[in-house]
A and B are shown apart, each in its own frame.
Chain A
Amino acid sequence: MAVEKTAPAIELINVSRRFLSPTGKSLTAIRDFTMTVERGEFVAVVGPTGCGKSTTLNLVTGLASPSAGEVRVMGAPVKGIDPRIGFVFQTDALFPWRTVIENVMAGPLFRGRPRAQAQASARDWLARVGLARFEQHYPHQLSGGMRKRVALAQTFINGPEILLMDEPFSALDVQTRVLMHEELLRLWSEAKASVVFVTHDLEEAIALADKVYVLTAGPATVKSVYTIDLPRPRVVADIRYEQRFIDYSRTIWADLKEEVETSYARAAA
């Protein structure tokens, strides 16, 4: 177990993933992808649209397996779905026929915890995301931002050591998004989880992350890695006006822009 203690949270080592298209052709989503996420580290992954960012997350969850290379979680190879992993989806993945509290209770109940305990814990998490009054509402009665907070509570209640987020806030309006960033950073600093946050929004990536991975146009591979040395705790609403933030933004955008243009030119061709 000594090895496990020191191993990074996530390692992707020369990973490739190929798909078969409906016509039987082989498509490469990612190739020779190498990434390491240390424990407690917040990593953001940015890249052009459709380059294969989400594929990397699916490999870590075990919902997909690599065609070549190795994926390790906490030092051990991924075999099936790891209970230490939490995932926040881009689309609404709440269960619409369950009330808010039943949605949050889902994880503990699936994992065999007693109902009373799950309920108490769900209450606690709903209070932490500021939705205590909405326990008995159904998802369709909530706003997009509130639904996202339910999704966060639903994920955090399982106490994930690794948190994977696939463009979680891309459907929200800008103001709600900033509030959700604050919320996420607060929950993250309490939970001490390792995070991989996939986004196409560079400013979001810099504001939240310790490290930003820039991917190439598909098939995706790592183009460059930037360490974001901004002090924590960060105030997301204000940080974007700091000179160092702007410098990071400019440098990384210069890098990302080439890939976005390649991707765009390819789509137009």
Chain B
Amino acid sequence: MTDATVNIPTAAFRPGTSDAEIEAAAAKAAAHRRHTVTFWRLGILVVFLALWEIAGRMAWIDPFFYAMPSSIAGRLYEWITEGTSEGPLWYHLYVTMEESVLGFVTGSVAGIIIGVALGRNRMAADIFSIYIKVINSIPRVVLAPIFIMILGLGLASKVALAFVMVFFVVFHNAFQGVREADRAMIANARILGASDWQLTRSVIVPSAMSWIFASLHVSFGFAIIGAIVGEFVGSRYGIGLLINIAKGSFDAAGMYAAIVIVMVVALGAEYLMTMVENRLAKWRPQPLHETQ
């Protein structure tokens, strides 16, 4: 039986260990685990950036194309303190954010409303599904030139592009979420006296909510893509414009700096979204942690 004893984890408890001891040991193990995770996360980032920098300086890769972390940081610093060649960085960021947020909000509201409506109405779903499939098969970015032609170089064309990027994702999830709603739960609500509207509002939508939230997570990123691609194709302001100008002047550091900005913003949005979701989903079971 020596094999078995080898496999017992180091945190095994003697008989008669008190609850307090077990809890203390578990808290310690959890803290240790957290530290290890943070350490490796930071470590990998540092190693990656260092390798990049060294490779650039030793001319293993051409910094003209690949830039270097130091030159990217320098460009970011310059943009933040002195502004870009096209005016202050904050204004460009503000424009891109405004376009993304407007597209995200309108796209997801429309997606939820139409998704729920079609999910509840079989006939309408059967009729419209073919059109949705057809429109959905268009790669969204090819719409950018059309929107810019129709709506001009300003805000509206970018919002429209962000909208179509977001709408289909949210629509599909809302639709599916409604279809997956538990049938016994629906029957229960109806027998308890729910009208069609009450059923939709207090049973169907809440039960589709986890599906909808899953789509909202990815779709803010899509909204940013829409806004930036739109700016890329034609605009006077925005992060997409900065990338375009950097490209035109062969300024690799500028392009990467713009990417970093977008990355930070997208991560921030994702963090916010998770917070809201956790708030709304407090009814969901939390996993129990095993004391190992």
B185 touches A87 (CB 8 A): no
- Identify the interface centre among A97, A99, A141, A155: most chain B CB within 10 Å of its CB: A97
A97 touches B184 (CB 8 A): no
Tell me the complex Cα distance, A245–B191, Å: 34
> Which label, helix, strand, loop or mixed, suits the secondary structure of the B interface?
helix
Contact among A86, A93, A141 with B187 in the assembled complex (CB-CB below 8 Å): A93
Residues of B within 8 Å of A92, CB to CB, are: 184
Interface string of A54-98 (1 = CB under 8 A from B): 000000010100000000000000000101011101111111111
A93 touches B188 (CB 8 A): yes
Contact among B185, B193, B284 with A140 in the assembled complex (CB-CB below 8 Å): B284
Instruction: Give the contact-size bracket for chain B.
Output: 20 to 34
B194 at interface, CB cutoff 8 A:
yes
- Identify the interface centre among B187, B190, B191, B198: most chain A CB within 10 Å of its CB: B191
Chain B interface: which of A16-24, A105-113, A222-230?
A105-113
Residues of A within 8 Å of B207, CB to CB, are: 97
Tell me the complex Cα distance, A81–B192, Å: 9
A106 touches B184 (CB 8 A): no
Tell me the complex Cα distance, A63–B192, Å: 13
Residues of B within 8 Å of A111, CB to CB, are: 192-193
Residues of A within 8 Å of B191, CB to CB, are: 61, 63, 81, 85-87
Residues of A within 8 Å of B190, CB to CB, are: 63, 81
A61 to chain B, nearest CB (A): 6
Residues of A within 8 Å of B61, CB to CB, are: none
Which residue of A is nearest B206, CB measured? Answer: A97
A158 at interface, CB cutoff 8 A:
yes
Instruction: Give the contact-size bracket for chain A.
Output: 20 to 34
Given A97-B283, A140-B285, A89-B188 contact (CB < 8 Å):
yes
A109 to chain B, nearest CB (A): 8
Tell me the complex Cα distance, A97–B86, Å: 50
Tell me the complex Cα distance, A107–B195, Å: 11
A134 to chain B, nearest CB (A): 14
Residues of B within 8 Å of A89, CB to CB, are: 184, 187-188
B285 to chain A, nearest CB (A): 4
B283 touches A98 (CB 8 A): yes
Tell me the complex Cα distance, A181–B36, Å: 53
A83 touches B193 (CB 8 A): yes
A85 to chain B, nearest CB (A): 6
User: What is the interface of chain A, defined by CB distance below 8 A to chain B?
Assistant: 61, 63, 81, 83, 85-87, 89-99, 106-107, 110-111, 138-141, 154-155, 158
Closest 10 CB pairs of A and B: A93-B188, A110-B193, A107-B192, A111-B193, A140-B285, A93-B184, A97-B283, A110-B194, A138-B283, A87-B191
User: What is the interface of chain B, defined by CB distance below 8 A to chain A?
Assistant: 182, 184-185, 187-195, 198, 202-203, 206-207, 209, 282-285
Additional A-B contact list (9), CB under 8 Å, known A87-B188, A140-B283, A158-B193? A63-B191, A81-B190, A85-B191, A87-B191, A89-B184, A90-B184, A106-B192, A106-B202, A107-B193
Listed A/B pairs (24) with beta-carbon separation below 8 Å: A61-B187, A61-B191, A63-B190, A85-B191, A86-B191, A89-B187, A89-B188, A91-B182, A91-B184, A93-B182, A93-B187, A93-B188, A95-B189, A95-B203, A96-B284, A97-B207, A97-B209, A98-B283, A106-B194, A110-B192, A110-B193, A110-B194, A138-B283, A140-B285
